[in-house]
Amino acid sequence: MTSTTTRQAHTAAVDPRADAVVVAAQAMVRAGGPVPNAELARLAAVSERTLRRAFTELIGVGPRAFGQAVRTGTARDLLRSGSLVTDALVAAGFGSVRAFYETAAGTMGMPPSAYAAGAPGERLGWTAVETPVGTVLGAASERGLCAVRIGAALGPLLDQVRAEFPRAELVADHDRLADVARALAALAAGHPAPELPLDVRGTAFQARVWQALTRIPAGETRTYSEVAQDIGEPTAVRAVAGACARNRLALVVPCHRVVRTDGGLGGYRWGLAVKRELLEAEHALPDRARVVG
């Protein structure tokens, strides 16, 4: 038994409140953000007061603060900062290592310890294509596309992917990814493209936002507020904007189709000029060509 497992077992044995914290944490991960304390207490079979005290004393934050950490992706940020996995999980509000693995692995696309370690041993193939908006680089795992970058030159884009997955094997795989290159070229020019398999690596909340973005037809836009309403979180406008900013699958997850309420472009990771050009290209398409997927 590892020292981490020993500490986990010891904690659970001496403090039964940990079980209630884990149940509540899992509920918020599934929801992608905060859940009313009354509902959490019902699920954990404890009183609201007991649950609040358990979170505060065992985790260091209350249930709502933990839910906000889930919504804003704090757990992932902590892992990428280089903290020990166990420490990061506790700091992010998870009651145990086991609970985090059970609830978060599916939304991150790989076990959290592997992400924290830079995806050791994972093979990522890449290809690139020149487009009207610049060089577009796509990197894919066995599960699907995990990174799409837009830039002026290939070298910096490869460096970005290496920084994201520093211990993965990044290899050119143009033949196998030829269909990916064609699809990315089409999307960059404002044209429809076949649906691509995706390896989405984000929090549950981010995944819900990104899925909503894929439902916006080419040639149309939505406001951050409209996207928040679409996912059933009308007050989470800032969190939606944050999820758009953290989108690692440019073009395929079309965050460029999200604009401000006043009609302004808002932000875009790859530059407002690129965002404007993409939208203009899509708006110029005949209606019959504006299809999704």
Local structure of residue 284 (DSSP, 8 states): T
Task: Map 112-142 to HEC letters.
Answer: HHHHHCCCCCCEEEEEEEEECCEEEEEEECC
Sequence-distant (6+) residues with CB within 8 A of 89 are: 75, 96, 97, 100, 112
Whole-angstrom distance, CA of residue 266 vs CA of residue 275: 10
Pair 69, 61: CB distance under 8 Å: yes
Q: Catalytic residues, which ones?
A: 255
Question: At which residue do the structure tokens 């939505």 appear?
Answer: 222
- The closest alpha carbon to 224, from 284, 265, 167, 183, belongs to 265
- Residue 292: C-alpha distances to residues 64, 188, 205, 245, 286 (Å): 36, 14, 22, 22, 14
